[in-house]
Structure 1
């Protein structure tokens, strides 16, 4: 038996498991199975929208599906705690069929067939997104299952992107997935072939009004001064750009650079417009706080988080329900928890805040060893940075333009012959200034799964409920219930490793 998909509903009250033999839905707290494909009916009530199955029967004339013990399933997605469920059966001929069910009545509402295999499904109360292996993203109005638009993108075996759970219905994905054939503005879901000469949709689309500059590297400066910014210009700058697409109004609303290298994982908070991204290297995670100002969406705050020193694939990112904690899981079987509330990096109008946040490099090698006392050459930079910060800044005469900022004072402090000589001899010297301005925050708690890693990797899904953490493992099919330690200040120094707390295990169950 193979586990094809594990998925929490948006409020983490339930988790579904899809396997090569069946699909099931479990309540998280208290833990218990309440739906199985072998039974075909809901076993008990979990919310106002899920009533006891004994009170629900299909009305006369409704199309009702027979169930059996062998129902291989590729995906099962729940709409919050409602009985509306999306099921993609697994078939030898491919996973091209999608069914929309009312599980309370065991009623198939409709089914959709696609031209290629489905690799992911996203939904909220307004929209249903179906992602195909050939790169199409089908966007439906969920209320009437009406096709609104098809986006053509580049996808690999796994779709890197997320759909917000709220009614804003933002689709966030790496800009590198956008191709020259992607039509970002045409609202016709079935556009007619263009007449000769062939004009590709992105060729005449400019990103000038959408770009939010989050750093000022030499290449970004070229974009900053450019009159018409094209997709080619941005891709030439870096691969770490992110696109936020409005699936309600069917148009892009903002693009920004999240990392220097390619994006490996993206997630969106349930509210407060927070977007978390991780590069494929997996050492640095960033949380962006977006706010609507007039007719433009702007990035107001940025939080840098450090997972570890060594590269590792990030396979899980999840915001807590209260949007104050971010959970991060990697293929190393370690799950980190970051506190993202409190003071973030402000980005006031006209301020070059790259030295405060976005230039903190994603390319630093960082280890993922909890309690490891070994130190890398990167630590030398950070220790020196902390030393320089701790030195008193000499008093300077008042400026005609007002008081000199701490930033300028500190910058003048390190611009001397002594520190410049040291910096030239240090490895990673390019990152020293960034560490002084904004060292990434480390996790305040972690979990090391009690599993042996096979094939060098594992994948989990992360859910929250108050101070409870839920983990579901693809490798073993186990469901773990842990407790978060009491909130404490996030760790910012490598010398504070021992302050990170291990989450205690409360209970463990099997999903298969």
Structure 2
């Protein structure tokens, strides 16, 4: 066991977060014993010597970005409450506030290397980062914990294979490899659990954020099947969600509701994670599509979907899931009593006679984007808004009408890569 951080120190780190990054956002195993054949070690870099086999400096110094040309994006993700987002580039990483859109800070380390994964813990100043690109800042087999208050990496997790994704809670670090998911205690990096998965090159995995409920969702061994681990109730559920391989999924903050899409990309299904029951099925379209992103509104009244077809859809859901986030619930679903019911085909009255397609539930609102770019979506803090981020640096804020539906209204557009920083 490695004593990386005592609970009192972790609380101090949490408090420091609120006074550093939080303030700016509100303004506008010293032992190297292997856990198994995949995990090499977890280390406290404050007390461990540099690895003789590593050419990377584990605690590089931040430096100013001297490049005049925009960097290439390698990673893009929202934080847990969708109030800000992180950007990994081939020249460091950046953190942005969503509302209003503002660059909070950027870090270009002494090597100027790339970051393939940058994950936040709400508005803490601790980040999980993994190297990426043609000149990675760190090996792709290591998860580094960057403490921005100290301007250095303080801890690391090392593996024998490439890290595909990282998910964070206030108390857990979840690392996704090709065929395994590891759950660590955040305070001491002790391995709490390991889950085997099907081949998972996209690093599909989601975790709940409620303090009283820890739910983890990942692909299971059978095609189209999802494994739901409820660590609070100590129950495991297997859901056969689709006939094709899982391409994308989303989990509500409380972990009660799951949305899934397959590689076919025509249907999105909504499940109750506690019993595995299908709650609702909505249709994106008739043609195959690659689903890039799924996102619930805070109360799970709405679901946003983006795909390679260049359209963001908003669906009306008939489920209820109370937000378990750090902040007050958003206002996006405040007009619930006046919202549109799920939009059905005009031929749905002869359900059972015509193919299932004609009785499908369709999106109530849409927004058209340029095809050929990957976009991720989230619901904004403003009433009935959707925030869309593109791997080309585009930022859209759109508003939908919960009563009339139809085409969304574009409220804002920026290219955040052109920002010169705070």
TM-score (norm 1): 0.57
Counterpart among 458, 464, 476 of residue 373 in structure 2: 458
Q: Is the 8 Å Cα contact of residues 272 and 289 (structure 1) preserved in structure 2?
A: no
Q: Is the 8 Å Cα contact of residues 176 and 205 (structure 2) preserved in structure 1?
A: no
Please give the alpha-carbon distance, in whole angstroms, between the structure 1 residues aligned to 2:348 and 2:98: 45
Q: Is the 8 Å Cα contact of residues 330 and 458 (structure 1) preserved in structure 2?
A: no
Bigger helix share: 1
**Which residue does the alignment assign to 1:478?**
394
Q: Is the 8 Å Cα contact of residues 19 and 72 (structure 1) preserved in structure 2?
A: yes
Counterpart among 385, 402, 405 of residue 468 in structure 1: 385
Secondary structure of 2:396's aligned partner = strand
Q: Is the 8 Å Cα contact of residues 237 and 276 (structure 2) preserved in structure 1?
A: no
Q: Is the 8 Å Cα contact of residues 139 and 247 (structure 1) preserved in structure 2?
A: no
Moved more, 319-328 or 274-283: 319-328
**Which residue does the alignment assign to 1:284?**
267
TM-score (norm 2): 0.69
Secondary structure of 2:199's aligned partner = coil
Secondary structure of 1:74's aligned partner = strand
**Which residue does the alignment assign to 1:100?**
145
**Which residue does the alignment assign to 1:74?**
116
The Cα shift of 1:163 comes to: 1.8
Q: Is the 8 Å Cα contact of residues 173 and 185 (structure 2) preserved in structure 1?
A: yes
Secondary structure of 1:504's aligned partner = strand
User: Which whole-Å deviations, capped at 9, do the CAs of 1:353-374 have from their partners, x for residues lacking one?
Assistant: xxxxxxxxxxxxxxxxxxxxxx
Please give the alpha-carbon distance, in whole angstroms, between the structure 2 residues aligned to 1:502 and 1:311: 23
Please give the alpha-carbon distance, in whole angstroms, between the structure 2 residues aligned to 1:460 and 1:323: 21
Counterpart among 409, 415, 418 of residue 509 in structure 1: 415
**Which residue does the alignment assign to 1:33?**
103
Counterparts of 1:66-465 in structure 2, within 5 Å, are 67-68=109-110, 70-90=112-132, 91=135, 94-133=139-178, 135-167=179-211, 168-175=213-220, 178=221, 235=222, 239-247=223-231, 253-271=236-254, 273-290=256-273, 297-299=274-276, 302-341=279-318, 385-386=348-349, 388=350, 431=355, 439-449=359-369, 451=370, 453=371, 457-464=372-379, 465=381
Bigger strand share: 2
Q: Is the 8 Å Cα contact of residues 127 and 169 (structure 1) preserved in structure 2?
A: no
**Which residue does the alignment assign to 2:40?**
none
The Cα shift of 1:17 comes to: 0.4
Structure 1 gaps, min length 5:
39-66, 179-234, 291-296, 345-378, 390-413, 415-422, 424-428, 490-498
Secondary structure of 1:511's aligned partner = helix
Please give the alpha-carbon distance, in whole angstroms, between the structure 1 residues aligned to 2:96 and 2:407: 29
Equivalenced residue count is: 320
Runs (4+) of structure 1 exceeding 4 A deviation are 91-94, 382-385
Secondary structure of 2:275's aligned partner = strand
Q: Is the 8 Å Cα contact of residues 480 and 508 (structure 1) preserved in structure 2?
A: yes
**CA 152–243 in structure 1, closer or farther in 2 if over 3 Å, else same:** closer
Please give the alpha-carbon distance, in whole angstroms, between the structure 2 residues aligned to 1:149 and 1:343: 30
User: Which whole-Å deviations, capped at 9, do the CAs of 1:304-344 have from their partners, x for residues lacking one?
Assistant: 11101111011100111232111100011111011114699
Structure 2 gaps, min length 5:
1-70, 322-343
Counterpart among 403, 409, 412 of residue 488 in structure 1: 403
Please give the alpha-carbon distance, in whole angstroms, between the structure 2 residues aligned to 1:119 and 1:129: 11
User: Which whole-Å deviations, capped at 9, do the CAs of 1:262-314 have from their partners, x for residues lacking one?
Assistant: 22211101136110011211111111234xxxxxx324661111101111011
Please give the alpha-carbon distance, in whole angstroms, between the structure 1 residues aligned to 2:111 and 2:94: 12
Larger Rg, first or second structure (1 or 2): 1
Please give the alpha-carbon distance, in whole angstroms, between the structure 1 residues aligned to 2:309 and 2:226: 26
**CA 240–172 in structure 1, closer or farther in 2 if over 3 Å, else same:** same
Secondary structure of 1:487's aligned partner = coil
Q: Is the 8 Å Cα contact of residues 37 and 69 (structure 1) preserved in structure 2?
A: no
**CA 447–136 in structure 1, closer or farther in 2 if over 3 Å, else same:** same
Q: Is the 8 Å Cα contact of residues 337 and 444 (structure 1) preserved in structure 2?
A: yes
**CA 154–255 in structure 1, closer or farther in 2 if over 3 Å, else same:** closer
